């Protein structure tokens, strides 16, 4: 919006430009969602389960905010508290200076029309075609059918499914269904998009394309995105800020790079290091000596080998140097116990014209 202001008035002085940029900066760091002392209890006949307690989070306008935690940590409950699909037992959520706990049902429904939501299972209406799915929120908002059609067409272009308007959800793949769900969530031009495990049912490639789409939407429309996930990679890939939920509490929150590079709490450590295989003691008896005799030192041979073969090696000895871009020297590696993997590693190295010689009784 500020760009259009800039264009229209053809500002002449640098000072005015500076002021406008400042205003823009202030606007963009505005807190859009405030979660205050939130607690959610589930009360059944003979017991009370506290799903969330003491949740305090500020989410800035335009951010992509990740909420990560193990399953059962309470993150799905938390996201449902943001649009009051679940009413908090204590505390409140303030969106755009509006305290949701003070609203009646009708007002709450109006607020929800301003908050898009997508789900793990897509939750499309199976008996409606793509176009009618996308225009459904507009139908709820009382807009005309023609308006809904027009908006559906625009949105289908944005999510890259321009030719699917008359298809039914059953005819689409998982990734396409999620794209339709995203288009549907955007139809009312919401300020906030809630994503509840939106990529958890998708394969890694599709996940990446959906995340790229979310990022694009965030940039293009300045929409604030809240992503609930149990996958580290999702947060790493697109989030600006992250909160780690553990056992119903916020264990840590802050900028993604800060939290992930230096996790302080046990819960955070467990999450951050969980996808890295535990460092097992090397028990393999086979050792090899590999000789670098002037191959390009730019190729990270050992690192590539580890990644390709998905196996660990232990560097027992190394004496290499880089002479004018050529790697010279030798290295002794301890191979994994599994003989198949060991053979794979040896073959991998030999394929790259590296001299490999097996050492007997080195360890």
- Output the CA–CA distances (angstroms, integers) from residue 341 to 291, 305, 338, 348, in the order listed: 20, 11, 5, 10
- Judged by CB under 8 A, which of 11, 141, 316, 328 binds other proteins? 141
Which tokens is 296 given? Answer: 């390009």
The DSSP bridge pattern shows strands 98-99 and 90-95 to be antiparallel
Binding of residue 140 to other proteins (CB under 8 A): yes
Position among 5, 17, 27, 125 found at the interface with other proteins (CB under 8 A): 125
Return the range that interacts with other proteins (CB under 8 A); candidates 65-73, 136-144, 208-216, 272-280: 136-144
Piece of 122-130, 246-254, 260-268, 287-295 that binds other proteins (CB under 8 A): 122-130
Least separation in angstroms between CB 137 and other proteins: 4
Q: How far is the CB of 112 from other proteins (least distance, A)?
A: 4
Contact yes or no for 135/185 (Cβ under 8 A) = no
Check binding of 129 to other proteins (CB under 8 A): yes
User: What count of residues does the chain have?
Assistant: 363
> Which range binds other proteins by CB under 8 A, 25-33, 118-126, 243-251, 349-357?
118-126
61 binds other proteins (CB under 8 A): no
Side-by-side strand order, sheet with 355-359: 314-323, 326-334, 287-296, 355-359
Measured from the CB atom, the residue of 115 and 313 that comes closer to other proteins is 115
Closer to other proteins at the Cβ: 30 or 109?
Answer: 109
Torsion angle, alpha carbons of 277, 281, 285, 290, to 10: 60
Separation CA 241–CA 32 (nearest Å): 14
d(CA 292, CA 281): 27
Q: Could you say whether residue 65 binds other proteins (CB under 8 A)?
A: no
> Would you say 191 and 223 are in contact if contact means Cβ atoms under 8 Å apart?
yes
Please count the residues of this chain forming the interface with other proteins, following the rule CB under 8 A. Answer: 30
Examine residue 115 and tell whether it contacts other proteins (CB under 8 A).
yes
The residue range among 23-31, 65-73, 127-135, 156-164 that interacts with other proteins, by the rule CB under 8 A, is: 127-135
| Pairwise CA distance, residues 174 & 317, whole Å | 49
Q: Does 173 bind other proteins (CB under 8 A)?
A: no
Q: Which two tokens stand for residue 130?
A: 């793509």
Residue number, 122 or 292, with CB nearest to other proteins: 122
Distance CA 260, CA 240 (A): 12
Q: Tell whether residue 139 is a contact of other proteins (CB under 8 A).
A: yes
- Note the residues at the interface with other proteins (CB under 8 A): 83, 85, 108-113, 115-117, 119, 121, 123-129, 136-137, 139-141, 168, 170-171, 188, 194
């Amino acid at each position: 919006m500020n760009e259009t202001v800039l264009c229209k008035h053809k500002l002449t002085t640098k000072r005015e430009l500076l002021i406008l940029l400042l205003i823009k900066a202030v606007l963009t760091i505005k807190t859009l969602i405030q979660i205050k002392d939130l607690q959610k209890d589930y009360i059944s006949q003979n017991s009370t389960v506290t799903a969330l307690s003491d949740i305090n989070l500020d989410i800035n306008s335009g951010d992509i905010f990740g909420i990560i935690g193990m399953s059962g940590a309470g993150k799905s409950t938390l996201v449902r508290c943001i649009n009051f699909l679940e009413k908090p037992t204590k505390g409140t959520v303030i969106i755009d200076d509006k305290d949701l706990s003070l609203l009646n049902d009708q007002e709450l429904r109006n607020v929800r029309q301003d908050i898009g939501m997508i789900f793990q299972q897509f939750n499309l209406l199976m008996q409606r075609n793509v176009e009618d799915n996308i225009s459904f929120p507009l139908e709820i908002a009382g807009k005309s059918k023609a308006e809904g059609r027009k908006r559906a067409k625009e949105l289908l272009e944005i999510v890259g499914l321009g030719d699917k308007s008359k298809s039914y959800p059953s005819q689409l793949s998982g990734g396409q269904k999620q794209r339709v769900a995203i288009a549907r969530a955007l139809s009312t031009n919401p300020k906030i998009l809630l994503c509840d495990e939106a990529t958890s049912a998708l394969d890694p490639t599709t996940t990446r394309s959906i995340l790229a789409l979310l990022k694009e939407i965030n940039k293009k429309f300045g929409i604030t995105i809240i992503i609930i996930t149990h996958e580290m990679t999702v947060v790493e890939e697109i989030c600006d800020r992250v909160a780690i939920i553990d056992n119903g509490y916020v264990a840590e929150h802050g900028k993604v790079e800060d939290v992930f590079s230096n996790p302080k709490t046990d819960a955070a450590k467990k999450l951050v290091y969980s996808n890295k295989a535990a460092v097992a003691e090397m028990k393999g008896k086979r050792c090899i000596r590999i000789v670098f005799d002037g191959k390009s030192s730019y190729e990270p041979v050992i690192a590539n080998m580890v990644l390709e073969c998905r196996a660990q090696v232990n560097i027992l000895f190394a004496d290499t140097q880089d002479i004018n871009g050529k790697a010279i020297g030798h290295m002794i590696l301890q191979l994994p116990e599994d003989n198949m993997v060991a053979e794979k590693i040896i073959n991998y190295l030999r394929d790259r014209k590296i001299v490999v010689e097996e050492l007997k009784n080195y360890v």
